[in-house]
Amino acid sequence: MTDTARRVRVRLSGPSGPDPAHSSEYRQLSHIFFSYLGSRFSAGMVIALSCLATLSQPAAFAQSGCTRLDQGTTRVHIIHGRFARGRPRAAYCLYALAGQHVLINIKPSANLDTQGYLRFAGTPAQPDWAIGSPGGIVFNELVPWAGKYWLVVGQRFNEKKAGRFTVEITGN
């Protein structure tokens, strides 16, 4: 081998031997390092997405959670509900204006005996819940205050059956 060829070979390999990027030890360490970074990034993304989902839920419920009866037009609002076994009550939020006429009609499936009542959620609230009326028309009068009301649909005779019901609410 000529002196010039030897110098070219030494320059290509460098003074410390072959390129460290091609050694198995270097590849193993870089794999561990990038795996660690990837797992940290994945964990950070999971935490960020769960926080985003948690923070966006109250906004979704605030917008669609209350049925608004104060829109100025007479229309029928339909709520399809169901009782799961062991859960004999369901509550729904309504928003109405003072002096607005509200009609609430509960239509249970054949196997259910339902009752319902309406309660103002703000102050001046009634100290306790009314017993309510049997299924059918449970409320047909003017509401005294503007704001949020809770409509509670339950089962009569302390039954805990599973079944479906429909609530028709008219506010004008």
pLDDT of residue 130: 54
pLDDT of residue 3: 61
pLDDT of residue 49: 52
Domain boundary, last residue among 12, 47, 63: 63
Same domain? For 42 and 122 the reply is no
Q: What is the CATH number of the domain that holds 101?
A: 2.60.120.380
Helix (H) or strand (E) holding 119: strand 114-120
Token pair listed for 83 = 């009782």
Same domain? For 125 and 136 the reply is yes
127-128-134-138 Cα dihedral, nearest 10 degrees: 30
pLDDT of residue 167: 94
pLDDT of residue 57: 37
Nearest to 171 by CA among 79, 65, 69, 97: 69
Same domain? For 87 and 41 the reply is no
Same domain? For 48 and 37 the reply is yes
Domain that holds residue 41: 3-63
Number of domains in the chain: 2
pLDDT one digit per residue (tens) for the chain, 172 residues? 566 555 555 555 555 555 655 667 767 777 787 777 667 766 666 565 554 444 433 333 333 588 888 776 678 899 999 998 888 899 999 999 989 999 999 999 888 889 998 888 877 655 554 556 677 899 999 988 888 999 999 998 888 889 999 999 998 8
Nearest to 170 by CA among 147, 151, 145: 151
Q: Are 142 and 120 in contact (CB under 8 A)?
A: no
Q: Are 104 and 133 in contact (CB under 8 A)?
A: no
